[in-house]
C-alpha cells in the first residue's frame, strides 16, 4: 500500500467526522446504478459531496450522484455512498476501495454493497434481486496489490466467506415479510457475481464462458469493494439488481438507459429489502 | 524489454560476476517457507538482494531476500532465497528480472518451487506436486513490451513450459526415495487475497490442480530465454471451499515447515542429474 494511503484515509475520516456531529455510523451502504434514491430516505441526513472530502475520488458516471449521506435508517446509524467509483472510469482499484476503508475507520462494522447486474442464470428475470453468495474476480486487478498496511488488514486475507452467511440468511428471512404488488412475498435469488472491468459490455462468447465458469450475474463493480471490506474485517451483504438478461446464446443489444429503467422499477422493493434488513439486524 | 531494462540486467549480472567465485548452472527459486535448502549449499557466497544493482527487494515476511551461491551435490547452483511477487506491486518484468540476470550469468536450468493451495480433491496438505503445466491467470505477462532479442524470440513457444526430461527425472528420484510426488497443473493468480470458493470451482473447471501467486512470470521468462524448467509445488493447504474453513498464511508456513525435510531430500536427489 502506498506509504501515505493510510495518512490520506485518516485525513478524509477526520474531515467526515467533523461533519457528522457525533454520529457514529455502524452500517455502510454502497448504492449502485439507479439505486441511489434510498439515500433520500435517510433521516437527519448530513450530506457531504465527495468533492468536499480531502483525498476522496470523484464519480464521473451519469446516474451516480457522488456524495456521502450519513444519518439514520430504520433507527440504525448509517453512512451511505450515493454513487461509487468504478475501475472503468480510470481509477486505480486503491481509489475504488478508498471509501470502504474510510467507512471502516469511521466505525462501520457491516457493509451493504449493491449493484445493477446482468443475469446470466437463465432462471433469472429482469427486476429480480439476487443475494451475492460469492464472486469471481475477473477484473484482472486486485485492490490489495502493493505493500500491505497491517493497520488495515493482513497480507493474505481469507476469502472463503466474503458475503456473510448470517447476513444472507437474515436477508432471506426479512424478504419473505415484504409483499409485492401481486400480493406474493418477495423471493430473493442467490448466486455468484462475476466482476469484470468493463466498460464495454460482455460479448456473447464471454457471457457463455462466464456462465460456464459458474457465474450467475455479471457487473462492473462490487468485487474490489468486497475484497477490501473483508481485508478490513467488515461483514458484507451483497445485493444485485438484475437489470437485464445476459445470456450469451440469446443476447440482445443493451443500453445503460435500459439498465437504469429496470433499476428504477425495482427501486421500491430494493429499498424495502435494505430497510427491513437494517431494522432486523 | 526496454533497452534500459536490458542495461539493468547486465549491470546486475556484472556485479554478481565480480563477487561469485563460480558461475551457476542451476537456479533455485525457493518459495514461502522453503528457503532452508539454501542453507545446505557448500562454500556459500551470500549476496543480499539490496547489494545487487537494480535487484528488486521482497517485502513479504518469510521471504528473506538474498542470493546464496555455491556447490550443492557437486553442481554449481545459485539459490534465490525469497522472491518478489506481483501482488507486492511489482510489474511482471520486474518479477522476471532475477531470472534474466541468472540467464545472463549462464544458468541454463531453473528449479522453481512454491507453496500452493490444493484444488484437486485427491490432494492433501503436505503433498508435493510436480508441475506439469501452468495456467496464467494473472492477467500479466513479463514479455509485454519491446522484445529482448538477445534473450529469446518475440513469440516464445509454451508447449512444454516444464521440461519433460526433468519431470521424468523428478518422478524417478521420488520413486527411488519412496516420496509421493503428485503431478498437476499450477494456476497462477494475482492475489494477495486468497481465492473465493467460486473462484476455486472455476479454476478446477479450467483444469487447475493447484493455485498460487507466483512462479508463472518467472517460468515464462525462463522459457523465453531457453532455460529448462522443473517446478515443484508444496501443497500447503487445501484451497478455499474444499475443507470449508478459512485460510491463513500461518497454515501455509506451518505445513511448508513440516515437509521441509522430504522436500529437501527430493530436491537434493534431483539436482545432481539436472
* Per-residue pLDDT reduced to its tens digit, A168-207: 999 999 999 999 988 999 999 999 999 999 898 898 999 9
Do residue A148 and residue B190 have CB atoms under 8 angstroms apart? no
Do residue B202 and residue A227 have CB atoms under 8 angstroms apart? no
Q: Are strands A110-119 and A217-219 parallel, antiparallel or unpaired?
A: antiparallel
CA distances (Å), B198 to each of B202, B205, B241, B242, B252, in order? 6, 11, 8, 11, 21
Is residue A62 predicted with pLDDT exceeding 80? no
Please tell me the distance in Å from B24's CA to the nearest CA on chain A: 32
Do residue A145 and residue B86 have CB atoms under 8 angstroms apart? yes
Find the mean pLDDT for residues A121-136.
96
Which domain covers residue B90, as residue numbers? Answer: 3-273
Q: Is A276 on the interface with B (CB under 8 A)?
A: no
As a whole number of angstroms, the distance between CA A49 and CA B237 comes to: 45
Find the mean pLDDT for residues B217-227.
96
pLDDT, chain B, mean: 91
pLDDT of amino acid A256: 80
Q: Cell triple for residue A65?
A: 450522484
Look at residue A144 and give its three-state secondary structure. coil
Residue to mutate among A97, A130, A158, A209, with most B CBs inside 10 A, is A158
pLDDT of amino acid A8: 95
What is the per-residue DSSP string for A16-75? HHHHHTT----EEEEE-TT-GGGGGG-EEEEEEEGGGSTT-----STT---EEEEEEETT
Number of other residues whose CB lies within 10 A of the CB of residue B40: 16
Please tell me the distance in Å from B91's CA to the nearest CA on chain A: 10
Confidence of residue A1 (pLDDT cuts 50, 70, 90): very low
pLDDT of amino acid B248: 80
As a whole number of angstroms, the distance between CA B218 and CA B86 comes to: 11
pLDDT, chain A, mean: 93
Is residue A64 predicted with pLDDT exceeding 70? no
pLDDT of amino acid B64: 63
CA B98 to chain centroid = 11
pLDDT over 70 percentage in chain A: 96
For residue A192, which residues of chain B lie inside 8 Å, CB to CB? 198
Q: Cell triple for residue B179?
A: 516420496
Is residue A259 predicted with pLDDT exceeding 90? no
**Looking at residue A203, what DSSP letter applies?**
P
The answer to whether the Cα torsion of A82, A85, A86, A88 is positive or negative is positive
* Per-residue pLDDT reduced to its tens digit, A85-121: 999 988 999 999 999 999 999 999 999 999 999 999 9
CA-nearest of A247, A229, A249 to A238 is A229
Is residue B256 predicted with pLDDT exceeding 90? no
What is the per-residue DSSP string for chain B? --HHHHHHHHHHHHHHHHH-SS--SEEEEE-TT-GGGGGG-EEEEEEEGGGSTT-----STT---EEEEEEETTEEEEEEES---GGGT--HHHHHHHHHHHHHTT--EEEEEEEEEE-STT--TT-EEEEEEEEEESS--TT-SS--TTT--SS---S-SS-HHHHHHHHHHHHHHT--EEEEEEEEE--SSPPPHHHHHHHHHTT-SEEESSSHHHHHHHHHTT-EEEEEEEEEEEPTTTSSS---HHHHHHHHHHHHHHHHHHHHHHGGG-
Q: Is B88 on the interface with A (CB under 8 A)?
A: yes
Using an 8 Å Cβ cutoff, are A194 and A220 in contact?
A: no
Q: Cell triple for residue A168?
A: 444472507
Is residue B250 predicted with pLDDT exceeding 70? yes
* Per-residue pLDDT reduced to its tens digit, B43-100: 999 999 989 999 988 765 555 688 999 999 999 999 998 888 999 999 999 999 999 9
Confidence of residue A3 (pLDDT cuts 50, 70, 90): low
The ipTM (two decimal places) reads: 0.88
Is residue B173 predicted with pLDDT exceeding 80? yes
**Looking at residue A185, what DSSP letter applies?**
B
For cell 505493500, name the residue. A147
Residues in chain A: 281
Q: Are strands A189-196 and A235-245 parallel, antiparallel or unpaired?
A: unpaired
Q: Cell triple for residue A138?
A: 475477473
Residue to mutate among A155, A210, A222, with most B CBs inside 10 A, is A155
Do residue B202 and residue A213 have CB atoms under 8 angstroms apart? yes
Do residue B194 and residue A192 have CB atoms under 8 angstroms apart? no
Q: Cell triple for residue A75?
A: 433507527
**Choice among A89-103, A136-150, B22-36, B81-95 with the minimum mean pLDDT:** B22-36
Bridge-partner residues for B235, per DSSP? Answer: B116
pLDDT of amino acid A211: 96
Q: Cell triple for residue A64?
A: 451516480
Q: Is B59 on the interface with A (CB under 8 A)?
A: yes
As a whole number of angstroms, the distance between CA B213 and CA A253 comes to: 38
- Closest-CA residue of B relative to A155 is B192
Start-end of H helices in A107-255 = 165-175, 204-212, 223-231
Look at residue A277 and give its three-state secondary structure. helix
Question: What is the number of domains present in chain B?
Answer: 1
Bridge-partner residues for B29, per DSSP? Answer: B80, B112
As a whole number of angstroms, the distance between CA B65 and CA B18 comes to: 19
Q: Cell triple for residue A195?
A: 466482476
CATH number at residue B50: 3.40.50.1580
For cell 549480472, name the residue. B13
As a whole number of angstroms, the distance between CA A170 and CA A172 comes to: 5
- A174 vs B35: which has the higher pLDDT: A174
As a whole number of angstroms, the distance between CA B178 and CA A108 comes to: 54
Amino acid at each position: 500500500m502506498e506509504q501515505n494511503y493510510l495518512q490520506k484515509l485518516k485525513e478524509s475520516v477526520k474531515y467526515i467526522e467533523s461533519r457528522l456531529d457525533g454520529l457514529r455510523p455502524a452500517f455502510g451502504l454502497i448504492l449502485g446504478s439507479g439505486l441511489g434514491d434510498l439515500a433520500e430516505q435517510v433521516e437527519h441526513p448530513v450530506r457531504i459531496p465527495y468533492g468536499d472530502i480531502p483525498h476522496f475520488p470523484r464519480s464521473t458516471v451519469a446516474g451516480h450522484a457522488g456524495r456521502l449521506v450519513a444519518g439514520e435508517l430504520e433507527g440504525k446509524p448509517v453512512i451511505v455512498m450515493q454513487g461509487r467509483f468504478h475501475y472503468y472510469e480510470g481509477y486505480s482499484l486503491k481509489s475504488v476501495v478508498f471509501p470502504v476503508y474510510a467507512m471502516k475507520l469511521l466505525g462501520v462494522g457491516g457493509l451493504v454493497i449493491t449493484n445493477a447486474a446482468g443475469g446470466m442464470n437463465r432462471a433469472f428475470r429482469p427486476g429480480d434481486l439476487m443475494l451475492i453468495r460469492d464472486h469471481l474476480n475477473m477484473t484482472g486487478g486486485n485492490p490489495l496489490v502493493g505493500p500491505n498496511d497491517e493497520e488495515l488488514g493482513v497480507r493474505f486475507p481469507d476469502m472463503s466467506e466474503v458475503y456473510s452467511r448470517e447476513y444472507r440468511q437474515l436477508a432471506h428471512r426479512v424478504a419473505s415479510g415484504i409483499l409485492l404488488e401481486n400480493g406474493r412475498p418477495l423471493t430473493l435469488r442467490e448466486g455468484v457475481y462475476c466482476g469484470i472491468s468493463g466498460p464495454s459490455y460482455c460479448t456473447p462468447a464471454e457471457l457463455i464462458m462466464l456462465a460456464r465458469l459458474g457465474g450467475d450475474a455479471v457487473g462492473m463493480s462490487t468485487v474490489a469493494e468486497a475484497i477490501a471490506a473483508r481485508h478490513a474485517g467488515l461483514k458484507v451483504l451483497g445485493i444485485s439488481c438484475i437489470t437485464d438478461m445476459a445470456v450469451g446464446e440469446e443476447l440482445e443489444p443493451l443500453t445503460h438507459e435500459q439498465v437504469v429503467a429496470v433499476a428504477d422499477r425495482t427501486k421500491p422493493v430494493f429499498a424495502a429489502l435494505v430497510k427491513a434488513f437494517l431494522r432486523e439486524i | 524489454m526496454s533497452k534500459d531494462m536490458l542495461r539493468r540486467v547486465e549491470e546486475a549480472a556484472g556485479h554478481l560476476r565480480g563477487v561469485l567465485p563460480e558461475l551457476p548452472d542451476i537456479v533455485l527459486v525457493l518459495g514461502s517457507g522453503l528457503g532452508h535448502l539454501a542453507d545446505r549449499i557448500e562454500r556459500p557466497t551470500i549476496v543480499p538482494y539490496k547489494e545487487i544493482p537494480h535487484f528488486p527487494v521482497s517485502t513479504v515476511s518469510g521471504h528473506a531476500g538474498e542470493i546464496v551461491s555455491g556447490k550443492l551435490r557437486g553442481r554449481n547452483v545459485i539459490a534465490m532465497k525469497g522472491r518478489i511477487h506481483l501482488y507486492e506491486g511489482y510489474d511482471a518484468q520486474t518479477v522476471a528480472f532475477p531470472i534474466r540476470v541468472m540467464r545472463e550469468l549462464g544458468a541454463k536450468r531453473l528449479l522453481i518451487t512454491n507453496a500452493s493451495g490444493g484444488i484437486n480433491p485427491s490432494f492433501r496438505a503436505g503433498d508435493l506436486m510436480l508441475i506439469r503445466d501452468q495456467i496464467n491467470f494473472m492477467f500479466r505477462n513479463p514479455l509485454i513490451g519491446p522484445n529482448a532479442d538477445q534473450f529469446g524470440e518475440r513469440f516464445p513457444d509454451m508447449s512444454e513450459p516444464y521440461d519433460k526430461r526433468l519431470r521424468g527425472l523428478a518422478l524417478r528420484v521420488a520413486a527411488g526415495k519412496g516420496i509421493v510426488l503428485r503431478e498437476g497443473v499450477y494456476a497462477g493468480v494475482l492475489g494477495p487475497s486468497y481465492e473465493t470458493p467460486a473462484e476455486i470451482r472455476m479454476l478446477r473447471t479450467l483444469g487447475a490442480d493447484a493455485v498460487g501467486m507466483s512462479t508463472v512470470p518467472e517460468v515464462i521468462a525462463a522459457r523465453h530465454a531457453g532455460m529448462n524448467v522443473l517446478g515443484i509445488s508444496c501443497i500447503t493447504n487445501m484451497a478455499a471451499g474444499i475443507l470449508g474453513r478459512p485460510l491463513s498464511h500461518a497454515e501455509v508456513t506451518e505445513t511448508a515447515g513440516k515437509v521441509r525435510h522430504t522436500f529437501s531430500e527430493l530436491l537434493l536427489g534431483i539436482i545432481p542429474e539436472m
